[in-house]
C-alpha cells in the first residue's frame, strides 16, 4: 500500500503542529512553511483543530523520580538503549500521532453530537 504525496504532507503537517519533530526536522519544516503556502496552511489547520484539545488539558508535572527515570531512559548512551529501537522509528511515531489525532477528532465530534442531541 503506497501513501500519496499529499497524504504524507498532511501527516508531516500534523507532526509539525503536534511538535514531535526533532530540531533538524523542525528547522526544515519552518523553512518549508515560509516557502510553501499550502503546507503552511495545512500546519495552521492542524493547529486550529488541535487547539481545543490542549486547552482542555492542564499541564501536570511528573513526580521527580519518574522525571529522572525518563531522562535517563531517553538520554542514556547507545549501550543502554533498546535493542529494537522502536522508540526511534519515525514511521511508528507518525502513525501513532496521526491515529491519536484522528481518534481525538472522532471523540470531539461524538461529544459534540451527544451535547447537541
- In Å, how far are 13, 32, 42, 87, 101 from 38, measured between CA atoms? 10, 10, 6, 30, 20
Q: Which three cell numbers stand for residue 72?
A: 535517563
pTM above 0.75, yes or no: no
Determine the pLDDT at residue 71. 78
Q: What is the pLDDT of residue 31?
A: 92
Residue numbers in the chain where pLDDT is lower than 50: 1, 78-84
Cα 116 to its chain centre, rounded Å, is: 29
Amino acid at each position: 500500500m503506497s501513501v500519496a504525496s499529499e497524504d504524507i504532507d498532511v501527516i508531516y503537517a500534523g507532526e509539525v503542529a503536534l511538535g514531535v519533530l526533532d530540531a533538524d526536522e523542525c528547522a526544515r519544516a519552518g523553512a518549508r512553511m515560509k516557502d510553501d503556502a499550502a503546507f503552511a496552511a495545512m500546519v495552521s489547520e492542524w493547529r486550529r483543530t488541535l487547539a481545543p484539545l490542549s486547552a482542555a488539558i492542564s499541564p501536570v508535572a511528573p513526580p521527580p523520580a519518574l522525571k529522572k527515570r525518563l531522562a535517563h531512559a531517553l538520554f542514556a548512551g547507545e549501550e543502554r538503549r533498546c535493542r529494537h529501537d522502536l522508540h526511534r522509528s519515525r514511521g511508528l511515531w507518525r502513525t501513532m500521532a496521526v491515529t491519536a489525532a484522528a481518534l481525538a477528532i472522532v471523540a470531539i465530534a461524538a461529544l459534540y453530537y451527544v451535547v447537541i442531541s
